[in-house]
Amino acid sequence: MKLRKLLIGLCAAAGLTLGMQPMALAQAQYKAEYKMSLVLGTQFPWGKGGEIWADLVRERTQGRINMKLYPGTSLVGGDQTREFTALRQGVIDLAVGSTINWSPQVKELNLFALPFLLPDYRAIDALTQGTVGQELFDQLSRRGVVPLAWGENGFREISNAKHPIQSPADLKGLKLRVVGSPLFLDTMSALGANPVQMSWADAQPAMASGAVDGQENPVSVFAAAKLESVGQKYLTAWGYVADPLIFVVAENIWKTWTPEDQAIVRQAAIDAAQQQLAIARKGMTGDDLSQWQELEAKGVQVLHLDEAQRQQFVDATREVYAKWKKQIGAELVEQAEAAIAKR
């Protein structure tokens, strides 16, 4: 009888130990810190989105998942075009990344950089929140990352230190800093500019020294970086491309979390992205034009193109659009065009 009780006790103890193993294993796989890559810091809407996401996750997981922000793409030496590769290689755990910066590795993301595809914010939403956005998420999922939500860096406007830009002729010969994307090089070359590829870290010193004449970026970036202080006196609102952001987790990290924590991280990304998008668009449209007005108050000459002026740039980049439509995938581009038409 005593032997029988002893055996039952041992089995019960063994069963308890075995029952605890999955939880203990899951907790053992959690890292003390998860590295989040960002191009811009928290003074920009981009970095603010990453900060909100990290705070929500830390709060909702009671500190089980701690995300540390690494702005300036410091995890890849400041080269934002290497960020997506680093995610797949395990150098980066999470990111709020740019469709532009990741487009060299995921050609479909060049969709948003097709010149003058997107006429307004509703057009961006029609793509990111519809079947096109889901298709792009599917493409990313096949490449070793888990996409969770869409954020936004905004429409990219053009500035320079020389003169106002209101026609393609005004771009002729201007040295313009662009990101490391062949599509951007093709677009600026078609407009007669001299595109100079460089990281954002190098861009401001180059503008200050006159090594480049101008750049193209969302207004929120222009304002937060105080580009008027490095000679960028002329800003043209032409909305030639948009730069959606994507909240992602590296697949190898995602698999180490429990389903419950995965759900928390996903919902936190969605909530953070909604807040980030509102911050990025504040003061840009409708009755609230405060971002434009603040720049004008700092001495920046802001020019808003009318339809006829904008059409000149559309016409000048038609060949670039046609070339890259084939490279991105004609079916995807046509799906996007149809979604925009129905918005």
Give pLDDT, residue 23: 45
Give pLDDT, residue 22: 47
Q: Which residues contact 127 (CB under 8 A, 6 or more apart)?
A: 111, 112, 118, 133, 336, 339, 340
Q: With 90 as the cut, is the pLDDT of residue 293 above it?
A: yes
The tens digit of pLDDT for each residue in 13-59 reads 444 444 434 444 445 589 999 999 999 999 999 999 999 999 999 99
Q: With 60 as the cut, is the pLDDT of residue 184 above it?
A: yes
Averaged pLDDT for residues 301-306: 96
Give pLDDT, residue 253: 98
The tens digit of pLDDT for each residue in 203-256 reads 999 999 999 999 999 999 999 999 999 999 999 999 999 999 999 999 999 999
Give pLDDT, residue 9: 47
Neighbours of 52 (CB within 10 A): 22
Tell which residue, 238, 188, 229, 225, has the closest CA to residue 208. 229
Give me the chain's average pLDDT, please.
92
Please give the domain boundaries of the chain with CATH numbers for all domains: 31-153+244-281 (3.40.190.170), 157-241+285-341 (3.40.190.170)
Averaged pLDDT for residues 72-77: 95
Q: With 50 as the cut, is the pLDDT of residue 8 above it?
A: no
The tens digit of pLDDT for each residue in 194-207 reads 999 998 889 999 99
Q: Which helix (H) or strand (E) holds 300?
A: none
The tens digit of pLDDT for each residue in 121-152 reads 999 999 999 999 999 999 999 999 999 999 99
Q: With 50 as the cut, is the pLDDT of residue 323 above it?
A: yes
Q: With 60 as the cut, is the pLDDT of residue 79 above it?
A: yes
Give pLDDT, residue 286: 85
DSSP 107-159: GGGGGGGSTT---SHHHHHHHHTSHHHHHHHHHHHTTTEEEEEEEEEEE-EEE
Provide the 3-class DSSP secondary structure of residue 244.
Answer: strand
Give pLDDT, residue 41: 96
The percentage of the chain sitting over the pLDDT mark of 90, rounded to a whole number, equals 88
Averaged pLDDT for residues 293-299: 97
Averaged pLDDT for residues 164-184: 96
Cα angle, residue 295 at apex, residues 117 and 293 outer, rounded to 5°: 85
Give pLDDT, residue 3: 44
Give pLDDT, residue 159: 98
The tens digit of pLDDT for each residue in 253-273 reads 999 999 999 999 999 999 999
